[in-house]
Chains A and B, each alone.
Chain A
């Protein structure tokens, strides 16, 4: 009887410990989510010049299988022009200069409840709004979105933006 009572107490203590562990993990997760919503996030912009002429596909782009699918599959050559890395801070604009003189403006708006990032983008010449006045995208970490169609040097600019906390901004 005494041994049974002791086993019961041990079982209850074990259950309490496990419950406190789960509760602690949930609180930690919530705390991390709140913290992420106010912290900076690394991002990377990929500027590619794509042409329909036969040519080389930059080896670094082979892992981006999306660039081999429509509407990109008409391009026969792709060259990386720049790959700037930056840090997105909520509410603060980050500017990336494009080779055609336009500027890409990126702003981290917020972190969604599912962990994705809501990002605002605009592409224009300085003090003008002649190309892409406004774009809002929700992106999960590591997954890019593309803005394409600008003509440049006989080809088309394909701009990919990836928000990825795992990447180190420079």
Chain B
């Protein structure tokens, strides 16, 4: 248990995680321990070897090309896989239904308005409206003077009443 604590403290010293006071105490202890000093030197060699390998790998790496590839992938449109498309379509359905509902309402309203305007503008059939019933001609006042006369009503080609004023007349003998 003591050995484990000592290894952990030594590891923390190597990583620079000890407080200055703890570090000073451990340095005094390590001066009398060749075994711990040897272990520290091995760790240092391993760390330097890892740093060297990392430096060599990063030197070979084309960072510009790497960032260009990352940017291209980030800015490219997202192409969901077939598996991912199904849930996306399911999420879109409510919106589509809402558009269809409002589109249907708007279409229905426009159709009703068109029918309303068509009824207003539609030419009336003969005899079906008060306006058509007012067709034809009629006598509202007549003065036959000294002659005898009769007012007739004759049917026109469209069935409308046409006024006929017939006045008896003597042969005038005029040219």
Contact = CB atoms under 8 A, between A and B. Distances in A.
A59 interface: no
Nearest to A19: B113
B156 A66 contact: yes
B30 interface: no
A132 interface: yes
A22 B147 CA distance: 53
Interface residues of B, number: 49
Contact of B143 (A11, A133, A148): A133
Per DSSP, are chain B's interface residues mostly helix, strand or loop, or mixed? mixed
A132 B131 contact: no
Interface string B120-153: 1100000000110011111111111111010010
Nearest to B109: A11
Contacts of B22: none
Contact of B145 (A66, A131, A147): A131
A137 B134 contact: no
B171 A151 contact: yes
B165 A14 contact: no
A143 B166 contact: no
A84 B80 CA distance: 85
Interface in A93-129: 100-102, 112, 114-116, 118, 129
Interface string B99-123: 1001001100110010011001100
Given A101-B175, A133-B143, A136-B141, A14 B131 contact: no
A137 B167 contact: no
Interface string A122-157: 000000011111111111100111111111100000
Given A3-B98, A11-B106, A101-B175, A131 B141 contact: no
A114 B136 CA distance: 12
Contacts of B155: 65-66, 69
Interface of A: 3-4, 7, 10-11, 14-15, 18, 21-22, 25, 63-66, 69-72, 100-102, 112, 114-116, 118, 129-140, 143-152
Given A25-B120, A133-B144, 8 more contacts: A7-B105, A21-B117, A65-B155, A129-B145, A133-B143, A136-B140, A137-B137, A148-B167
Interface of B: 95, 98-99, 102, 105-106, 109-110, 113, 116-117, 120-121, 130-131, 134-147, 149, 152, 154-157, 160, 162-172, 174-175
